[in-house]
Amino acid sequence: MIGEAIDTAITLGVALLVWIVVAAAVGTVVLLGAAAGAAWAVKALWRRSAGPSWRRNAFRARILARRRVRPPQARTDDSDHTDYEEAA
């Protein structure tokens, strides 16, 4: 009878230890996932808010820079210009 009680206590102790290890592993994964998600969100917000306003949208900045750098005649359609001879 005492042997069964000791065997039951050992079985329950092992089961409790397994539950603690599994819960710690799951808790660690959840906490690290939450920390990574929060870090990603903070980094994204920081990048969106830091710097000049044109930096918030790189695509618009490239378009704006191209329009400002090129002379106006370079932006027009060249299909109606005939100041060159066609090669035969």
Classify residue 80: in a domain, yes or no.
Answer: no
Classify residue 16: in a domain, yes or no.
Answer: yes
CB atoms within 10 A of CB 56: 13
Classify residue 88: in a domain, yes or no.
Answer: no
Classify residue 10: in a domain, yes or no.
Answer: yes
Segment 31-66, tens digit of pLDDT:
999 999 999 998 888 777 765 565 667 777 777 777
Least confident of 43-47, 66-70, 72-76: 72-76
In degrees rounded to 5, what are phi and psi of residue 86? -80, 145
Task: Report in angstroms the alpha-carbon separations of 1 from 5, 10, 11, 85.
Answer: 6, 14, 15, 111
15 pLDDT band, cuts 50/70/90, is very high
Q: What is the CA radius of gyration of the chain?
A: 34
Classify residue 86: in a domain, yes or no.
Answer: no
Classify residue 85: in a domain, yes or no.
Answer: no
Helices within 1-88 (DSSP H only): 2-49, 58-69
pTM, full prediction: 0.48
- Domain housing 35: 2-72
Q: Tell me how many domains the chain contains.
A: 1
Classify residue 30: in a domain, yes or no.
Answer: yes
